[in-house]
Structure 1
Amino acid sequence: MPRTALAIRHVPFEDLGTLDAVLRNRGYGIAYLDAGIAAITPETVSAADLLVVLGGPIGVYDRDRYPFLIEEQRAIRARLDAGLPTLGVCLGAQLIAQAMGAEVASTGRHEIGYAPLTLTDEGQASVLAPLQGHPVLHWHGDQFEIPHGATRLAETPGFPNQAFALGDTVLALQFHLEADHTRIESWLIGHAHELAAAGIDPGRLRSDAIAFGPGLALTAARVIDAWLDRLDA
């Protein structure tokens, strides 16, 4: 039986992207749960060999407006309590942080575009090491605190908490490794209002995707392969 990778998706275009091929090459069968449509239960989420919680344009604190977040949070918490492999990206990382008891809040500003990370000493010794100096895609306005017991791995100017790990089984990334540069137009369309409100030129993002996207895809594969190697060890 193939191993199963279950991805919680909040908007259609923010999917596994380039990580799809990485996971399939590792022998994972892939399934999606679309938040707000599919039932997200502790039983379903905990049954998968790997859970990936993807990004989206809402905040973890928007429970009154988006009640499905309550059940999603409960399911993620159950999986974390069971010590099962979990990867979070952007909103997904924030949901993991909150489930672990850390604060997540709006910063009142945006970090959108391709730019490099600065890895902490722990980050340089982690699976994120290949990312040092390589631009990744940032697209967020919220920020998580580092949960108790977790290790801070990366930062950018103004956003000191860009990634954390809990042992080898939990990896939470504020930034996007998975974004497929050949499909960046769907991001520009889907987030058109946010880009306009922040005064960001989609043309710059489009050209940066062409310049940095291919390298990011290769580096992302190295990162996720290294993380999966640790899970398999």
Structure 2
Amino acid sequence: MNIDVLQHVPFEGLASIEEWGNDNGHTFRMHKLYENPSIPRIDDLEFLILLGGPMSANDQDQQWIDEERRLIRKTISENKPVFGVCLGAQQIAKALGAAVIQGDKEVGWHPIRSVSSRLPFIPEELTVFHWHGEQFELPDRAERLVSSAACENQGFIYSEKVIGLQFHLEMTPNRIQGLLTHDGDYIDHSQFVQSAEEITDFGIPETKQNGFI
């Protein structure tokens, strides 16, 4: 399968999703919006992945923000799978008519709890990586999948082929270090924010972060 990936910044990439794709014989076509901010026309799109980034889904000064949501709506209307992480999930939610709002900043390793059986690879409780301050509201006809103490809507599924996750199942040590290097100023002393030392000391849990694997 050809998987088209919209990447918003160089330091938030596929991480362990790439391992899953390679193991399963998929081909990733990367569209790096930080190099070319125009959303490409993709005539043979089969599966769309939208990655994270420090910008807001509510920004009006990024030319690709609205274009990306149009592509999301088109892909959903064609009954093709869409998967979004963090900003990508917020973009899916907005494309489906939901709001993206300011919430408690959540940074580092914090537990989520499953509130649905739709994602069998997520146990009842799992500690995962977070890096966000905004959060999406639940789109109409979407089902909430997971929640955390800081964020009620940590994930949703819409129809059978559209999933948005506020948290990061895909993180690897290199990708975490990239966030700390390029976006480390985001860390503050809020209730649900860990220090850089706490984040790196925790490491990657023995259970693989990537639910694809």
TM over 0.5: yes
Indicate if the aligned counterparts of 2:12 and 2:175 stay in contact, CA closer than 8 A: no
For these two proteins, the number of residue pairs brought into alignment is 210
Q: Which amino acid aligns with 1:203?
A: E
The residue number in structure 2 matching 1:127 is: 119
1:94 alignment partner, one of 46, 68, 90: 90
Amino acid of the structure 2 residue aligned with 1:178: E
Structure 2 residue runs of 5 or longer lacking an equivalent are none
Cα distance change, pair 180–172 in 1 and its aligned pair in 2 (3 A): same
Distance in 1 separating the partners of 2:74 and 2:158: 15
Matches within 5 A, 1:28-107: 28-38=26-36, 39-41=38-40, 43-44=41-42, 47-63=44-60, 65-107=61-103
2: CA distance, partners of 1:215 / 1:182? 17
Q: 1:68 to 1:183 in 2, by over 3 A?
A: closer
| CA positional deviation for 1:130 | 2.9
CA distance in 2, matches of 1:184, 1:27: 26
Query: Is 1:164–1:172's contact at 8 Å kept on the other side of the alignment?
Result: yes
CA positional deviation for 1:184:
2.1
Report the TM-score when normalising by structure 1: 0.83
Deviation at 1:50, TM superposition (A): 1.2
Runs of 4+ in 1 over 4 A off after TM superposition: 196-200
The alpha carbon displacement at 1:224 in A equals 2.2
Q: What is the CA deviation profile of residues 117-137 of structure 1, one whole-angstrom value per residue up to 9, with x for unaligned ones?
A: 1111xx2x1125434322110
**Partners in 1 of 2:76 and 2:95 — Cα distance?**
8
Structure with the higher helix share, 1 or 2: 1
The equivalent residue for 1:201 is 195
**Residue 170 of structure 1: aligned partner:** 162
Question: Is the alpha carbon distance of 1:60 and 1:178 closer, same or farther for their aligned partners in structure 2, counting shifts above 3 Å?
Answer: same
Pair 1:112 & 2:107 matched: yes
The 3 A distance-change label for structure 1 pair 195 and 164 is same
In structure 2, distance between residues paired with 1:195 and 1:205: 11
Whole-Å separation in 2 of the counterparts to 1:158 and 1:93: 17
Distance in 1 between residues matched to 2:207 and 2:73, nearest whole Å? 34
Cα distance per residue 1:116-169 (max 9 Å; x no partner): 21111xx2x112543432211011101111111111111011311000001321
Alignment correspondent of 1:151: 143
Is the 2:106–2:150 Cα contact (8 Å) retained in structure 1?
Answer: no
CA distance in 2, matches of 1:183, 1:139: 12
| TM-score, normalization by structure 2 | 0.91
Indicate the SS of the match to 1:130: coil
Q: Is the 8 A contact 1:90 1:173 kept in 2?
A: yes
For the 8 Å contact 1:151–1:164, the answer to whether it is kept is: yes
Alpha-carbon distance between aligned partners in 2 of 1:195 and 1:170, rounded to the nearest angstrom: 30
Inter-partner Cα distance in structure 1 for 2:125 and 2:194: 23
- 1:187 Cα deviation after fit: 1.3
Does the 8 A contact of 1:86 with 1:169 survive in 2?
Answer: yes
User: What are the ranges of 5 or more consecutive residues in structure 1 without an aligned counterpart?
Assistant: 226-233
CA distance in 2 between partners of 1:180 and 1:116 (Å):
17
Report whether the alignment pairs 1:224 with 2:212: yes
Amino acid at match of 1:204: E
**Residue 115 (structure 1) shift:** 1.4
Q: Equivalents in 1 of 2:212, 2:11: separation in Å? A: 20
Aligned-CA RMSD value? 1.9
Instruction: Assess, with a 3 A threshold, how the Cα gap between structure 1 residues 197 and 66 changes in structure 2: closer, same or farther.
Output: farther
